[in-house]
Amino acid sequence: MHKFVLTLLIFLKMGLLCSPSVFAQSDIVDETYEELQAQSEEMVDAVKDLQKKYANPDAVKKNQIDPKQLEKTFALIQEQFRDKTIEDIEADILDQTKGSMLHELLKTFPKLLTFVATLMKDKEALPQASKILHDREKLKEAGLWMLGTFLLSFILKKLLIQSGQGILKRLGRYFLKSLILWGVRIGILVHFYGEYLNPIYKIFKKVFLS
């Protein structure tokens, strides 16, 4: 983790120094680098805390999700909705979430409701996704890369968004930053868990893109 963060820091320092827009303002480079160092140190401390927290095998076991138990839960969900139509499942979901923000969200976006209902009924999507938890080492590696995207978010904010920009330009840059971040995060998920998430993607494509 330390090497990972330090590598990003060095890469950023070199990138900032070589950037034409920032090269003329060395004080901005130094300030940005110092802030980034502080940010990375906080991340390292957070990882250390997690390592201490889960150093005890009993604590790890207590906090881990049991993949087999999760598979049983998904099997029960599918059994409940197996003989129902998508429309009936949608009605059940709306009834079970009545009075919550989720209820209003699903009513406002009916395609999202259809997506959730189809997910509940599909024989492969949820069971296949639950297999992600079986590979602990891959889960740790993917989690580390996801943690790195928070550092990337800080870097992009410094590079793209400045106080002197107009409102529309700032909004556009915020949108671009979000687009890049979510693109990277989705790419990480696809790289590590593409085979497990493929059934969910097929449902997403059918509901939202067809």
Residue range 147-161: mean pLDDT, rounded: 90
83 vs 36, higher pLDDT:
83
Pairwise CA distance, residues 53 & 60, whole Å: 8
Model pLDDT, residue 194:
93
Tokens representing residue 16 in the block = 């900032």
pLDDT value at 43 more than 90: no
Tokens representing residue 57 in the block = 């095998």
Q: What is the pLDDT of residues 54-84, one digit of tens each?
A: 555 554 455 566 777 777 788 888 888 888 9
Q: What is the pLDDT of residues 103-150, one digit of tens each?
A: 999 999 999 999 999 999 998 998 888 888 888 888 889 999 999 999
pTM equals 0.59
For residues 94-110, b (16+ Cβ closer than 10 Å) or e, as one string? Answer: eeebeeeebbeebeeee
Residue range 48-53: mean pLDDT, rounded: 57
| pLDDT level of residue 15 (50, 70, 90 thresholds) | very low
Positive or negative, the CA dihedral 132, 135, 138, 143 is positive
Percent of the chain with pLDDT over 90: 42
Tokens representing residue 82 in the block = 């197996």
Percent of the chain with pLDDT over 70: 68
197 vs 37, higher pLDDT:
197
Model pLDDT, residue 190:
92
Model pLDDT, residue 10:
45
Name residues whose C-beta falls within 8 Å of residue 183's C-beta, 6 or more positions apart in sequence: none
Pairwise CA distance, residues 118 & 86, whole Å: 6
pLDDT value at 21 more than 50: no
Number of other CB atoms surrounding residue 126 within 10 Å? 20
Task: Identify which of 12, 18, 46 has the alpha carbon closest to the alpha carbon of residue 32.
Answer: 12
Phi and psi at residue 58, to the nearest 5°: -65, -40
| pLDDT level of residue 192 (50, 70, 90 thresholds) | very high
Question: Could you give the C-alpha distances from 107 to 81, 101, 102, in angstroms and in order?
Answer: 20, 10, 9
pLDDT value at 7 more than 70: no
Average pLDDT over the chain reads 78
Model pLDDT, residue 16:
43
